[in-house]
Amino acid sequence: MRVLGIESSCDETAAGIVVDGRRLEANVISSQVDVHTLYGGVVPEVASRLHIERIVPVVRAALSQAGVGWDKVDAIAVTNGPGLAGALIVGANFAKGLSATLGLPLIGVNHLAGHIYAGWLVEGIPDPGIEPGFPLLCLLVSGGHTDLAVMEGHGRFTLIGRTRDDAAGEAFDKGARILGLGYPGGPVIERAARVAPVAEPMPRAWLRESHDFSFSGVKTALLRRAQEMGINAGNLAGHVAGPQPDTTVVGALARGYQEAIVDVLIRKTVDAAEQFGVRGIMLGGGVAANRSLRDGMLRESPVPVIVPPPLLCTDNGAMIAACGSQLLALGLRSDWTLDVLPNLKLDYAIG
């Protein structure tokens, strides 16, 4: 079963082709980061227009990369939520047109579940649903979401914790802006933290009676420390004349900020894994590309940890194809009435 997956929920126009839910044949991503960097974040209207321009060449490139024609594609999977409404509409309508024209099954995919199914595309490991097997604890960490969910089986998720304010990726973006490091925040903070000899201590919000997360407090603490140390983000960005802050100080703040976020993510996930008796931990989402998070989770977890390679952590079409393959096996089909759901959550059961 060869499935084409289409992803357009935010600022990546992507298409991937996966066979039998596990074998990756193509993964083409057209990122808009160079455009949105000019604004310090994603501009929804700009993202939608760029998706319209890029979706056809991206899908064609995926078919070329896989070395197949339309006659070898068995189904179309597409992200229909959550995400930016205008961006989602571009991908969903394109997929519906393909499905109707080619007479292929259409499957609407939850973008958050897609990130989890990127773990099924890791080379050299058994099927995670068999080894280590269900239930699995899923930590989804991205720019818009930070969720903990127990996955009881394919298409069956129970949300047990989520962020009460900023998502982890959003916290990195805002922290990078405070420090004048640029956009997107996760990679630039990680680079600055990697070379910093020391870390400036930062507070943690443990919310000990809950599996929820909160990152607004550490963001505010970073802002106040930066102000106390005379760091003006405008100076680093070149918008304000004045003395440049000591890069050692910026690095120490970045390292302490990253440690505070990663420490909470790891500790709360490990605690939940022990409490719910899961057989493994799945990481997904753009923040899962962070080396400190990946290494720390592998080191601290009492159960096997499955982490996709960094390219499959960020938004991509292959993860949508992988998820769509499993949903298709469950008998799920969509039709021309498939609608976009910008606020879709990772808390549902299919089949």
Query: What pLDDT is attached to residue 167?
Result: 97
- Given this model, what pLDDT does residue 212 score? 98
Q: Output phi, psi for 333, to 5 deg.
A: -140, 145
What's the pLDDT at 37? 87
Q: What is the pLDDT of residue 38?
A: 86
Task: Return the pLDDT at 246.
Answer: 72
Considering the domain delimited by 134-307, tell me its CATH architecture.
2-Layer Sandwich (3.30)
Secondary structure in 3-state letters for the chain: CEEEEEECCCCEEEEEEEECCCEEEEEEEEECHHHHHHHCCCCHHHHHHHHHHHHHHHHHHHHHHHCCCHHHCCEEEEEEECCCHHHHHHHHHHHHHHHHHHCCCEEEEEHHHHHHHHHHHCCCCCCCHHHHHCCEEEEEECCCCEEEEEEEECCEEEEEEEECCCCHHHHHHHHHHHHCCCCCHHHHHHHHHHHCCCCCCCCCCCCCCCCCECCHHHHHHHHHHHHHCCCCHHHHHCCCCCCCCCHHHHHHHHHHHHHHHHHHHHHHHHHHHHHHCCCEEEEECHHHHCHHHHHHHHHHCCCCEECCCHHHHCCCHHHHHHHHHHHHHCCCCECCCCCCCCCCCCCEECC
The pLDDT of residue 152: 97
Class of domain 2-118+311-349: alpha beta
Position 140 scores a pLDDT of 98
Q: What is the mean pLDDT of each run of 10 residues along the chain (351 residues)?
A: 98 97 98 89 94 98 98 98 98 98 97 98 96 98 96 97 97 95 93 95 94 97 92 53 69 97 98 98 97 97 97 97 97 94 92 57
pLDDT at residue 329, as a whole number = 95
Domain residue ranges of the chain, discontinuous segments joined by +: 2-118+311-349, 134-307
pTM for the model stands at 0.94
Domains 2-118+311-349 and 134-307 share a fold: yes
